[in-house]
Amino acid sequence: MATPLSASCGQHSLAGLKPENQDALGFYAPDNPLLLDAKGLACALADGISSSELASLASQSAISSFLSDYFSTPDSWSVKQSGAKVLTAINIWLCGQGNQFLNESRAAATTFSAVVIKSTTAHLFHVGDTRIYLWRGGDLELLTQDHRLRLGHDREYLSRALGVGYGLEIDYKSLPVESGDSFVLVTDGVHEHVPDQQLKTLLRQYPDPDRCARHICEVALEQGSDDNISCQVLRIDQLPRPEVEEVYARLTTLPFPPELEQGMVLDGYRIIRELHASSTSQLYLAVDTDSGNKVVLKTPSVNFEDDPAYLERFQLEEWVGRRINSPHVVRTIEQQRPRRFLYYVLEYIEGRTLEQKLDDEGPLSLDEVRRLLPQMIAGLRAFHRLDMLHQDLKPGNILLTDEGLVKIIDFGSARIAGIADIATPIARNTLLGTKQYTAPEYLLGVPGSPQSDQFALGCIVYQMLSGQLPYGEALAAATGKGHLNRLRYTSLRNYQPQLPHWVDRAIARAVSLQPGQRYQALSEFEADIRKPNPAYLQEQQLPLVERHPLAFWRTLSLLLLLGNVLLLALLLPRN
């Protein structure tokens, strides 16, 4: 069996010389192994700002809300997204509490630091002047920066905290951890009175986290701290180390189904016919013998029976399908009967793929593209909201129903941020999609983003209008940065001269080779396809030398060269 994640957390908090303790701290490690695997464990420390009458409310609410809400976020979200979303919501709520009184002294403000350990990685969230240290092998390293603003010689103010403004900036950091590592979280009531060297001595002297945290607080009080005093020591006792054999055994719990033929019944599904077969999977039309409904069974290919990476991706397809709820993404059906083989069930949709439509009818009109594009965007958004990337968007993976509804299919290449956070002995291929539609950053080993799916969508829109691809076959043949640097976008108006210039420019931006030059949101792309972007209209009115200076000077240089050659030929004496 794989060793589970395990940690010990010692924590201590004192009011010190103050009448009220406005600090708060907490630790949570789920008892449920599945939740521990999906979300990890967390400890957090907050120091309510003493100038605020709602300091205790702020610190206690921040800790309790973070430790409950973080573990309630979707398991598809990365730790970074989960923590940021939760802290943003907490900050908005705290700002609202303070704004009720329209009085600065009644602000609900607090500093905040948290450590989340998931799999073999530590994720740090920090705002304010609480601190997080790493104690490893006798060395103590400060991992956070105090958000303090110095005004004059002896005046300092907090520059960042929860609850002081709706525009929250959170410091985030991740780092690999080792068994035996300890994270030390302290408030300013500790770190202003216990020097780092003395902190190291105490950590060495008291290996038990609970005793250590208590002694650190007591030393801070003895050495003149007049503030609230709080400390947490989180020690990593054991990290999950899944073995290849164990992972493979889990993935092969269910055997591959036999070759299916018309009339056969598999777990209550009667096979009607094969719909599609490829080197990686088979799709069968079947009837649920209980309900009489038509469904689709997807079965794995025996070619990959011994491939753990393939088996994981196949099983994650169903995992993804169960979590996405969108009319523009094919629905995965949860099975009510026991399953004896490895397969999963999808809704059956009458229709054809966009690829088949383009093969049958050729390029589409701009009006039809405008009708289909919002539906494709809605389907992609369903992935992105759950911190997933489709990564294999292409005409063959877009289904069009007879009623004109768009459905995105095939999740075999999807990247799930929450799963990617978990260490595994399985070698995961990051370049799984179809290369003609694959964003160039993948070729350079750069992780994908929603802009990567946007690139594929832009290529599809280009193909819908022209029957061609924006970079031809050159993108599929590119193998590195040198090849990518030589790629040039082919204007859509080369194939469709009547197409508005601003539509071409919108698509060119969506398929830019640089992710940062693409649209920040898919809604912007959709808007620029529907109506002219003023910037593109203005650009069209500029002279060629300003619109395309490089192309202008290259063309002018070539014309001058040809002119000189012609002039030289005329001046040379003839025999």
C-alpha–C-alpha distance, residues 178 and 449, integer Å: 29
Question: Helices (DSSP H) in 106-260: which residue ranges?
Answer: 188-191, 196-205, 209-222, 244-251
Q: Is residue 382 within 8 Å of 324, Cβ to Cβ?
A: yes
My answer on whether 537 and 549 are in the same domain is: no
Give the 3-state secondary structure of residue 546: helix
Q: Are residues 182 and 265 in the same domain?
A: no
Q: Are 148 and 188 members of one domain?
A: yes
Q: Is 353 contained in some domain? A: no
Q: Collapsing DSSP states into helix, strand and coil, what is residue 343?
A: coil
Across residues 36-63, what is the average pLDDT? Answer: 93
Residues 162 and 290 both lie in one domain: no
Q: How many separate domains does the chain show?
A: 4
Q: In the numeric block, which tokens belong to residue 20?
A: 């009220």
Q: Which residues form the domain of 203?
A: 6-240
User: Same domain for 569 and 536?
Assistant: no
CB atoms within 10 A of CB 529: 21
Quick: pLDDT tens for 423-455.
887 776 656 678 889 999 998 888 899 999 999
Tell whether 130 and 168 lie within a shared domain.
Answer: yes
Report whether pLDDT(246) > 80.
no
Q: Which two tokens stand for residue 225?
A: 């701290």
Pairing of strands 139-142, 388-389: unpaired
Q: Is the pTM of this model over 0.75?
A: yes
**What is the pLDDT at residue 133?**
98
Type of residue found at 567: L
Is the domain of 187 the same as that of 63? yes
Q: Are residues 379 and 471 in the same domain?
A: yes
Q: Categorize the per-residue pLDDT at 1 as very low, low, confident or very high, splitting at 50, 70 and 90.
A: very low
Give the model confidence (pLDDT) of 255-303 as tens digits. Answer: 999 999 999 999 999 999 999 998 889 999 999 999 999 999 999 999 9
Does 84 share its domain with 230?
yes
Domain boundary among 322, 347, 372: 347
Is the pLDDT assigned to residue 307 strictly greater than 80? yes
Q: Which of 145-154, 288-297, 400-409, 522-531 has the lowest mean pLDDT?
A: 145-154
| Confidence at residue 380, expressed as pLDDT on a 0 to 100 scale | 97
Quick one: what percent of the chain has pLDDT higher than 70? 93
Provide the terminal-to-terminal Cα distance of the chain, rounded to the nearest Å.
93
Sign of the torsion formed by the C-alpha atoms of 150, 156, 157 and 160: positive
CB within 8 Å of 176: residues ≥ 6 apart: 120, 121, 122
pLDDT per residue over 208-227, tens digit each?
A: 999 999 999 999 999 999 99
Helix (H, G, I), strand (E, B) or coil at 4: coil
Last residue of a domain, one of 215, 240, 265: 240
Contact 26, 67 (CB under 8 A): yes
CB 76 within 8 A of CB 387: yes
Task: Judge if 308 and 236 occupy the same domain.
Answer: no
Same domain assignment for residues 223 and 316: no
Report the alpha-carbon distance of residue 381 to residue 377 in Å, rounded: 6
More confident call, 573 vs 385: 385
Bridge partner list, 400: 352, 406
Mean pLDDT of the chain: 91
